[in-house]
Structure 1
């Protein structure tokens, strides 16, 4: 069969109709291959503009919304207010303490995968506590057991406001 060479009105173009059993393959090729780059919905629709099937816009949207790689790179819609970055200077030990996690790292024989870092801003003292998880419960227990019980409660605690630090437990 010869290709269509007739008149196409301005602003119109031909679309190839995709059978239902091939639509998943078309979506994978437009989204998952390395050259596709996991683009957003509009760019993926533009990539597939020469192809058509029933409910293609809805299928593209649901495919991208369910893509694990895209969801892992998405910005969070967390409405939790964040404190603006400011410069603070400590004038005494234990006035300001900073907490953060290092990891995930390769699992040790004892099952630890991350390190809780505790730094006193004035003295620059660094405490490193290996932990198996970064959950709020494990984090709180390590801070109390390894830091607050050995020293005292600091006047201010600074974190990166991660979920394990911003929980109600801490």
Structure 2
């Protein structure tokens, strides 16, 4: 069966014209973002780690990047629970720069939690999670 599939892909005109490697095809097409026209109109947020435990008992980094200016903030966190992410995001970003209009995150349980959703609603942020299993769809901050 694998040989039949490989033969079909090799003879498929659409596949050849697009020069697509079937191993890299996405299940869903990636969406496009509207280009922001001012700072903090759209920010991207993700969590990096785990890293070795720091002297302050931090194991992860909450990374935030503005898509207009490319300004980035990296915040050390002891864990990635929704409570900690909300606290650090508010204290180190929102209270300093104001709430962004739109926030792009992956679909991590901390970002999809009711607490995080309520925080976004309370502060007036439109939360836009990326497509599941598509880390490229939040590439702005993935490259940080």
Rounded Cα–Cα distance in structure 1 between residues aligned with 2:55 and 2:108 = 27
1:88-167 equivalences under 5 Å are 88=33, 89-167=35-113
Which of the pair is proportionally richer in helix? Answer: 2
SS of 1:127's equivalent? strand
- Tell me how far 1:85 sits from its aligned partner: 3.2
Q: Deviations over 1:86-139 (max 9, x none)?
A: 111212111001000110001111100000000000000000000000000000
Rounded Cα–Cα distance in structure 2 between residues aligned with 1:87 and 1:144 = 27
Rounded Cα–Cα distance in structure 1 between residues aligned with 2:30 and 2:104 = 11
Give the count of matched residue pairs: 88
> Which of 1 and 2 has higher RCO (CA within 8 Å, sep 6+)?
2
- The structure that has the greater radius of gyration is 1
The corresponding residue for 2:115 is: 169
Segments of 5+ residues of structure 1 without an aligned counterpart are 1-82
CA RMSD of aligned residues (A): 1.4
Rounded Cα–Cα distance in structure 2 between residues aligned with 1:84 and 1:99 = 21
Rounded Cα–Cα distance in structure 1 between residues aligned with 2:102 and 2:29 = 16
- Tell me how far 1:84 sits from its aligned partner: 6.8
**CA shift in 2, pair 1:164/1:84, >3 Å:** farther
The corresponding residue for 1:86 is: 31
Runs of 4+ in 1 over 2 A off after TM superposition: none
Segments of 5+ residues of structure 2 without an aligned counterpart are 1-27, 117-144
